[in-house]
Amino acid sequence: MTFEDQLKALVYFHLQEHKSARHLVQDMQENEFARQNVAPDEGISRSSFSEAINHRGLEQLQYVFENLYKQASAVLPDAYEELGDLVSIDGSLITAVLSMFWADYREGAKKAKVHCGFDINHGIPTQVYLTDGNGAERLFIDQILTEGQTGVMDRGYQSHDIFDLLQGKNKHFVCRIKAKTTRTIIEQYPTEKGGYIFYDALVLLGTPGQNQTREPVRVVGYQISGTKYYVATDRRKLTAEQIATIYKLRWSVESFFKWWKEHLKVYHLIARSKYGLMVQILGGLITYLLMAIYCHEEFNEKVSIKRVRQLRTKILNELFNGQGNSEPIENNNFKTLYLF
């Protein structure tokens, strides 16, 4: 099983919503389309597939993912160019099985956690890290962001030390903070009476002598549907309204996780080791990036379940048309998606 075979199998797994490695291997053995276009020429056994997933291909998949992200970000439209390079940062739990001893969470339960950066402007994932379910999320902020990018985060990521660290590295942040956080005002900015923005000030966050920021931080307060939000940022040149808009866009990563789990079945486990799970996750992210490029170039649209289902239907149609045909099935849409 070559790396190309492995990559094809992973993309096929996520596109076709297989529920297990057994289901996928059986399909590659019995399905004419999969046998001709996905499986290795000499066929594949479940043990060989398991060995490949759990022990091979991780570095190559990381390389493919990083380069595919660059390709996708170059062709997809920039939705919020005036707001800068925005990366939503969040974590998502994966339910594990008890035999996955490395995936600590709590007694009687095993979970892993994906820490993901999501490019808000282009609607695609940028980076991913994997830990056990109790893995600290804040540690990955600096790793996910590159110079000039703005991390958009929920209040679980509030860290005054990290706010100082990011400002020292020319990495930006828009992060919701706890309403009761101590704020020492340096400069107060005017807000429109009756508007949804009720607070805008340059402050030092935290208690002096304990956890106070060294660098000043701008805090914007706004109210939506009766809920008050306080958002800390180092983006001083934007309006308060733009800061509020950026934080609202954080929900794009939540929508991505929901769609990714529901329609690409990323969390139907085909591996038990940490290495193998990361291989599977990268395969799912690569599939999403391929779909993003495919939907844009073929339909000038964002990724949608409608287009995924259409692609599955075309694959099934090719299977039906190719039954009994000794020649390999030609499927331009399938090959376009794989970029082979």
Euclidean distance between CA atoms 124 and 252, whole angstroms: 10
**What are 95-128's pLDDT values in tens digits?**
898 999 999 999 889 999 999 999 999 999 999 9
Last residue of a domain, one of 190, 222, 239: 239
Same domain flag for 279 and 326:
yes
275-304 b/e (C-beta count within 10 Å ≥ 16 → b): ebbbbbbbbbbbbbbbbbbbbbeeeeebbe
| pLDDT band at residue 330 under the 50/70/90 scheme | very low
Question: Does residue 99 sit within a domain?
Answer: no
**What are 155-209's pLDDT values in tens digits?**
999 999 999 999 999 999 999 999 999 999 999 999 999 899 999 999 999 999 9
Same domain flag for 175 and 232:
yes
| pLDDT band at residue 305 under the 50/70/90 scheme | confident
**Least confidently predicted of 47-56, 218-227, 325-334:** 325-334
For residue 319, what pLDDT is reported?
Answer: 54
Last residue of a domain, one of 239, 255, 290: 239
Question: Does residue 333 sit within a domain?
Answer: yes
Question: Does residue 88 sit within a domain?
Answer: no
Residue 133's Cβ-side half-sphere holds a number of Cα atoms within 13 Å equal to: 18
Question: Does residue 212 sit within a domain?
Answer: yes
Question: Does residue 226 sit within a domain?
Answer: yes
The residue type found at 256 is: F
Question: Does residue 290 sit within a domain?
Answer: yes
Question: Does residue 177 sit within a domain?
Answer: yes
Euclidean distance between CA atoms 22 and 47, whole angstroms: 10
Q: Indicate if the pLDDT at residue 147 is higher than 50.
A: yes
Q: Indicate if the pLDDT at residue 325 is higher than 50.
A: no
Cα 321 from chain centroid? 36
Report the domain count for the chain: 2
169-204 b/e (C-beta count within 10 Å ≥ 16 → b): eebbbbbbbeeebebeeeeeeebeeeeebbbbbebb
DSSP per-residue letters across 266-326:
TTS-S--SHHHHHHHHHHHHHHHHHHHHHHHHHHS----HHHHHHHHHHHHHHHHHHTT--
Last residue of a domain, one of 195, 220, 239: 239
Q: How far apart are the first and last CA of the chain?
A: 17
| pLDDT band at residue 321 under the 50/70/90 scheme | low
**What are 32-79's pLDDT values in tens digits?**
888 888 899 888 888 999 999 999 999 999 999 999 999 999 999 999
Q: Measured at the alpha carbon of residue 181, what is the angle toward residues 224 and 188, in degrees to the nearest 5? A: 70
215: containing domain: 171-239
Q: Are 57 and 3 in contact (CB under 8 A)?
A: yes
**Structure pTM?**
0.89
Same domain flag for 222 and 281:
no
H or E stretch at 68: helix 58-75
Task: Kindly give the pairing relationship between strand 150-153 and strand 172-177.
Answer: parallel
226-237 b/e (C-beta count within 10 Å ≥ 16 → b): eeebbbbbbbee
**What are 225-264's pLDDT values in tens digits?**
999 999 999 999 999 999 999 999 998 887 787 777 666 5
Question: Does residue 220 sit within a domain?
Answer: yes
**What are 5-25's pLDDT values in tens digits?**
999 999 988 888 788 889 999
CA–CA distance from 10 to each of 18, 33, 237, 280, 288 (Å)?
Answer: 10, 15, 44, 7, 12
For residue 334, what pLDDT is reported?
Answer: 43
